[in-house]
C-alpha cells in the first residue's frame, strides 16, 4: 500500500520533471513475457521505462538491478525491493571486467541468469540494461552476454529495445540535483532468439535494434566511434 | 481622495475585465461552432479520396487547436483571478516549461551542468522574485549582464572547451528568450500609469490578445490569400499576404481594444502595430532555430500547437518592447 504510493510518487516526480513520454514505435504495450532492454546512463532509467508503461502492466514488470549497488544501505534496499519489486543480481568487479575465464565470476553469472529465469517463470516481465553499468560517455557500450544466456534458457521471451533519450543530461552520473529537461522512452520492434543463432550474432542484433531508435546524429557519432575502436 | 479614485478605477477595471473575458469566450464559442460544423459537414460528405483525407487532417488540427485555446484562456483567467501573485507564478511556470524545451533541443554538454543548474534553479526564480518585489533595475540587468558573465564562468568548471562559445551562447539565449523576455509580461503589473491604477492586468490581456490573434490572423490570411512566401528557407507557412493581412487586422483589433488600455485608439493601434511586427519576426527567428536543429516543433505540451515555445515565440519578442514603450511614454518612473 505505502510502497505503491511511493512508487507512484517517484513516477509522478520524474514525469513532472522530465515531461517523460513513451513512444510506442515498434510495438504496442502488451502483457506477456517481455524483456525491456535499454541504454543506461542514469539511475532514473528504469523508472522512466516503468513510468512509460500503462498502469495495468507495471505490477508485473520488474527492474533487474545490481545487488552490490542497491544493497549498500537500508533506504536503497527498501526502494528497490519493496517499492519497485526489483530482481537483484550479483555483478561484482570481475563480471564488469569481462573475466569470463574466472571461475567465480562464471558461477556468479550462472546464478544471475537462474535468478532472472525464476522471475520470468513467476510471470514477470523484466527491465534490463545490457551495457551492465551506467555509461558515463556518449556512445553505447558493448553489451554483456546476459541477455543471450537468458534468451537461450527462455526462448519464448520477447526482447523489446527501449531507447531513452536525454535522461543522462537530467541526472549525469555522480550528480545529485536533476535538471528539468524533456525525456522520451522509445519502444522498438521486439526481437527473439533465432534457432541456432550464436551469442555474438544475437547480442549484435539486439544492440543494433536499440541503436536504430537513437536520434540520427547519435547513430552517426556511435558509428564513427565503433569504427575508430 | 486617492483611495476613492483607485476604488472607482478598480471597479471600472473589474467590469472591463468581465466584458473582455465574455468577449473572448464569445469568440472561442464561435470558433468551436464553426469547427464542429465543418467537421460535421465533412463527415456527411462521403466522397473518398486524398483531398478528403487532407481536409480531415486540417480540421482535426483546427479542433485540437481550439480546444487548447479554451484551456489556455481558462488558465490565464484563473491566474488573473488569483491576482498579482497568481500571474507572476503562472508566467514563471511558463518560463520554466519554455526553458526546458529550449535547452532540451539545443544540446549542451556534460561540462555545462553547473551553468544549467544555476540557470534553472537560481536565475529563473530570482528573475521572477525581482519582478515580484518590483526591483526594476536588477530585473533589467540580472540576465543580460550578470548571468552573461557568471554562467560562462561556471561552464569552465568542467574544463571542457569543445564548442565552448556555442554552448555558452545557447544557455544565454535560452535565458534571454524564455526567462528575460517572458518575465516582461508580468512585469507590466509594476508600471505606475497615472489614471490607470489597478488596471495593469488589462495591459497583459491587451498584449497577449493582440499578439496571439495576430498569429491566428496571419495563419487565416495565409490560408485564404497566401501566395508569395516571405522566407521560404525559414518558414514554409509565412506568406506576404498572411503577414500584411494578419498584421493589419490584428492592429485594427488592437485599436478596437483601446478601452481596456491607457492609450487613445490611435496610440493603441501604434502599440499593436509594433507588437505585431515584433511578434512576426519573433516567429521567424524561432523558426530559424528550429530549422537549424532539424525539428518542426519545440515540444508536445499543447495538442495541435506543439510546445510552449511554438505558442509563445511571438510573445517573447513582443513583450520587452511593449513593456518599455509603455514605460517610457505612459508610466511615471519608479
- Test B101 with A172 for CB contact under 8 angstroms: no
Considering the domain architecture, whether residues B15 and B68 belong to the same structural domain is answered as yes
Of the residues B141, B168, B190, the one at which a domain ends: B190
Angle between the N-to-C axes of helices B200-225 and B240-256, in degrees from 0 to 180, rounded to the nearest 10 = 150
Distance, in Å, from the CA atom of B274 to the CA atom of B257, rounded to the nearest integer, reads 15
Considering the domain architecture, whether residues B186 and B202 belong to the same structural domain is answered as no
Judge whether B167 is closer than 8 Å to chain A, CB to CB. Answer: no
Min Cα distance B101 → chain A (Å) is: 7
What's chain A's average pLDDT? Answer: 85
Query: What ipTM did this prediction achieve?
Result: 0.77
Considering the domain architecture, whether residues B322 and B288 belong to the same structural domain is answered as yes
Contacts of B104 in chain A (CB under 8 A): 166, 181-182
* Residues sharing a CB contact under 8 Å with residue A207, sequence separation 6 or more, in sequence order: A130, A140, A142, A143
pTM of the model: 0.85
Tens digits of per-residue pLDDT, B65-76? 898 899 999 999
What are the angstrom distances between the C-alpha of A148 and each of A106, A114, A143, B162? 15, 13, 10, 38
Select the highest-mean-pLDDT range: A39-48, B2-11, B30-39, B318-327.
B318-327
Give the total number of structural domains in chain B. Answer: 3
Q: From the centroid of its chain, how far is CA B332?
A: 26
Considering the domain architecture, whether residues B210 and B322 belong to the same structural domain is answered as yes
Contacts of A139 in chain B (CB under 8 A): none
pLDDT of residue B234: 85
Distance, in Å, from the CA atom of B229 to the CA atom of B243, rounded to the nearest integer, reads 10
Considering the domain architecture, whether residues B245 and B167 belong to the same structural domain is answered as no
Of the residues B190, B207, B226, the one at which a domain ends: B190
pLDDT of residue B256: 96
Find the CB nearest A179 among B116, B300, B301.
B116
Structural domain for A5, as ranges:
1-93+100-227
Q: Which residues, in sequence order, are bridge partners of residue A35? A: A126, A159
Domain membership of residue B94 (yes or no) is no
pLDDT of residue A2: 86
Q: Is the pLDDT of residue B7 over 50?
A: no
Tens digits of per-residue pLDDT, B228-283? 998 888 888 889 999 999 999 999 999 999 999 999 999 999 999 999 999 999 99
Residue in chain B nearest A172 by alpha carbon: B110
Contacts of A176 in chain B (CB under 8 A): none
In the structure grid, which three cell numbers stand for residue B139, read together?
A: 530585473
In the structure grid, which three cell numbers stand for residue B11, read together?
A: 471597479
SS3 A127: strand
- Test B120 with A180 for CB contact under 8 angstroms: yes
> Is A176 exposed, middle or buried, given 0-12, 13-18 or 19+ CB atoms closer than 10 A?
exposed
Distance, in Å, from the CA atom of B116 to the CA atom of A59, rounded to the nearest integer, reads 36
Cell 508569395: give the residue.
B228
Min Cα distance A181 → chain B (Å) is: 5
Which phi and psi angles does A157 have, rounded to 5°? -70, 140
Residue in chain A nearest B119 by alpha carbon: A179
pLDDT of residue A101: 55
- E strands, B62-132, are none
In the structure grid, which three cell numbers stand for residue A191, read together?
A: 526481437
Considering the domain architecture, whether residues B144 and B245 belong to the same structural domain is answered as no
Min Cα distance A61 → chain B (Å) is: 27
Min Cα distance A115 → chain B (Å) is: 36
pLDDT of residue B316: 96
Per-residue model confidence as pLDDT tens for chain A (229 residues): 788 889 889 888 888 888 888 889 889 888 878 999 999 888 788 889 998 888 888 888 999 998 888 889 999 999 898 899 999 988 754 444 444 556 777 787 788 899 999 999 999 999 999 988 777 776 788 898 889 999 999 999 999 999 998 888 888 777 888 899 998 899 999 999 998 899 999 999 999 999 999 887 677 766 777 777 6
In the structure grid, which three cell numbers stand for residue B205, read together?
A: 490581456
HSE of B315, CA atoms in CB hemisphere, 13 A = 26
Domain membership of residue B109 (yes or no) is yes
* Residues sharing a CB contact under 8 Å with residue B27, sequence separation 6 or more, in sequence order: none
Contacts of A179 in chain B (CB under 8 A): 103, 113, 116-117, 120
Judge whether B301 is closer than 8 Å to chain A, CB to CB. Answer: yes
- Test A177 with B101 for CB contact under 8 angstroms: no
Tens digits of per-residue pLDDT, B93-143? 999 999 999 999 888 888 889 999 999 999 999 999 999 999 999 999 999
Q: From the centroid of its chain, how far is CA B317?
A: 8
- CA torsion sign for A40, A46, A50, A51 is negative
Of the residues B174, B190, B206, the one at which a domain ends: B190
Considering the domain architecture, whether residues B43 and B167 belong to the same structural domain is answered as no
Give the total number of structural domains in chain A. Answer: 1
pLDDT of residue A94: 44
Domain membership of residue B131 (yes or no) is yes
Structural domain for B205, as ranges:
198-334
What's chain B's average pLDDT? Answer: 89
Domain membership of residue B91 (yes or no) is no
3-state SS string over B47-85? CCCHHHHHHHHHHHHHHHHHHHHHHHHHHHHHHHHCHHH
Q: Is the pLDDT of residue B334 over 70?
A: no
In B88-127, the residues whose Cβ lies within 8 Å of chain A are 96, 100-101, 103-104, 108, 110, 113, 116-117, 120-121
Most B CBs within 10 A among A169, A184, A221, hence the mutation to make, goes to A169
- Test A19 with B100 for CB contact under 8 angstroms: yes
In the structure grid, which three cell numbers stand for residue A198, read together?
A: 550464436
CB B216 within 8 A of CB B242: no
Distance, in Å, from the CA atom of B3 to the CA atom of B44, rounded to the nearest integer, reads 61
Query: What's the alpha-carbon Rg for chain A, to the nearest Å?
Result: 17
> Is A97 exposed, middle or buried, given 0-12, 13-18 or 19+ CB atoms closer than 10 A?
exposed
Question: Starting from the edge strand earliest in sequence, which strands make up the sheet with A87-89, in order?
Answer: A21-24, A184-187, A158-165, A34-38, A125-128, A61-66, A87-89
Find the CB nearest A182 among B108, B121, B299.
B299
Domain membership of residue B88 (yes or no) is no
**Nearest of A170, A127, A163, A167 to residue A147 by alpha carbon:** A127
In the structure grid, which three cell numbers stand for residue B59, read together?
A: 480540421
Domain membership of residue B93 (yes or no) is no
Domain with A136 in it: what CATH number? 3.40.1130
Domain membership of residue B89 (yes or no) is no
Considering the domain architecture, whether residues B49 and B120 belong to the same structural domain is answered as no
Amino acid at each position: 500500500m505505502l510502497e505503491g504510493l511511493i512508487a507512484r510518487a517517484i513516477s509522478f516526480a520524474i514525469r513532472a520533471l522530465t515531461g517523460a513520454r513513451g513512444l510506442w514505435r515498434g510495438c504496442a504495450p502488451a502483457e506477456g513475457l517481455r524483456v525491456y532492454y535499454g541504454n543506461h546512463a542514469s539511475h532514473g532509467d528504469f523508472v522512466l521505462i516503468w513510468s512509460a508503461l500503462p498502469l495495468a502492466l507495471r505490477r508485473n514488470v520488474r527492474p533487474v538491478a545490481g545487488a552490490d549497488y542497491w544493497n549498500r544501505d537500508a533506504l536503497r534496499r527498501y526502494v528497490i525491493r519493496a517499492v519497485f519489486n526489483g530482481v537483484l543480481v550479483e555483478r561484482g568487479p570481475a563480471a564488469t571486467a569481462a573475466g569470463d575465464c574466472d571461475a567465480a565470476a562464471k558461477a556468479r553469472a550462472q546464478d544471475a541468469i537462474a535468478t532472472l529465469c525464476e522471475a520470468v517463470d513467476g510471470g514477470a516481465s523484466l527491465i534490463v540494461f545490457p551495457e551492465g553499468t551506467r555509461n558515463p560517455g556518449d556512445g553505447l557500450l558493448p553489451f554483456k552476454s546476459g541477455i543471450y544466456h537468458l534468451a537461450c534458457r527462455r526462448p519464448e521471451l520477447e526482447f523489446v529495445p527501449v531507447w531513452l533519450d536525454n535522461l543522462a543530461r537530467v541526472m549525469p552520473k555522480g550528480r545529485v540535483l536533476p535538471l528539468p529537461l524533456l525525456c522520451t522512452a522509445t519502444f522498438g520492434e521486439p526481437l527473439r532468439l533465432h534457432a541456432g543463432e550464436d551469442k555474438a550474432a544475437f547480442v549484435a542484433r539486439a544492440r543494433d535494434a536499440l541503436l536504430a531508435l537513437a536520434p540520427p546524429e547519435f547513430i552517426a557519432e556511435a558509428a564513427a566511434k565503433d569504427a575508430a575502436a | 481622495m486617492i483611495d476613492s479614485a483607485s476604488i472607482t478605477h478598480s471597479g471600472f477595471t473589474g467590469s472591463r475585465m468581465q466584458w473582455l473575458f465574455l468577449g473572448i469566450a464569445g469568440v472561442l464559442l464561435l470558433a468551436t461552432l464553426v469547427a464542429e460544423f465543418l467537421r460535421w459537414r465533412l463527415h456527411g460528405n462521403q466522397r473518398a479520396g486524398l483531398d478528403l483525407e487532407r481536409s480531415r487532417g486540417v480540421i482535426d488540427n483546427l479542433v485540437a487547436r481550439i480546444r487548447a485555446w479554451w484551456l489556455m484562456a481558462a488558465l490565464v483567467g484563473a491566474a488573473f483571478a488569483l491576482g498579482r501573485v497568481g500571474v507572476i507564478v503562472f508566467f514563471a511556470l511558463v518560463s520554466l516549461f519554455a526553458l526546458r524545451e529550449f535547452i532540451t533541443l539545443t544540446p549542451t554538454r556534460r561540462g555545462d551542468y553547473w551553468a544549467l543548474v544555476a540557470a534553472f534553479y537560481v536565475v529563473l526564480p530570482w528573475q521572477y522574485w525581482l519582478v515580484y518585489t518590483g526591483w526594476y533595475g536588477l530585473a533589467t540587468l540580472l540576465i543580460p549582464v550578470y548571468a552573461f558573465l557568471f554562467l560562462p564562468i561556471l561552464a569552465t568548471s568542467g574544463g571542457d572547451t569543445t564548442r565552448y562559445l556555442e554552448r555558452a551562447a545557447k544557455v544565454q539565449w535560452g535565458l534571454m528568450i524564455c526567462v528575460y523576455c517572458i518575465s516582461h509580461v508580468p512585469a507590466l503589473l509594476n508600471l505606475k500609469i497615472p489614471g490607470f491604477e489597478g488596471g495593469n492586468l488589462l495591459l497583459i490581456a491587451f498584449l497577449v490578445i493582440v499578439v496571439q490573434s495576430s498569429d491566428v490572423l496571419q495563419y487565416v490570411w495565409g490560408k485564404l490569400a497566401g501566395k508569395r512566401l516571405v522566407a521560404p528557407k525559414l518558414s514554409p507557412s509565412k506568406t506576404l499576404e498572411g503577414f500584411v493581412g494578419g498584421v493589419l487586422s490584428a492592429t485594427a483589433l488592437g485599436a478596437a481594444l483601446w478601452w481596456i488600455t491607457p492609450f487613445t485608439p490611435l496610440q493603441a493601434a501604434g502599440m499593436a502595430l509594433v507588437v505585431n511586427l515584433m511578434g512576426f519576426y519573433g516567429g521567424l527567428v524561432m523558426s530559424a532555430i528550429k530549422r537549424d536543429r532539424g525539428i518542426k516543433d519545440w515540444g508536445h505540451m499543447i495538442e495541435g500547437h506543439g510546445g510552449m515555445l511554438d505558442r509563445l515565440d511571438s510573445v517573447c519578442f513582443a513583450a520587452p518592447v511593449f513593456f518599455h514603450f509603455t514605460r517610457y511614454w505612459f508610466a511615471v518612473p519608479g
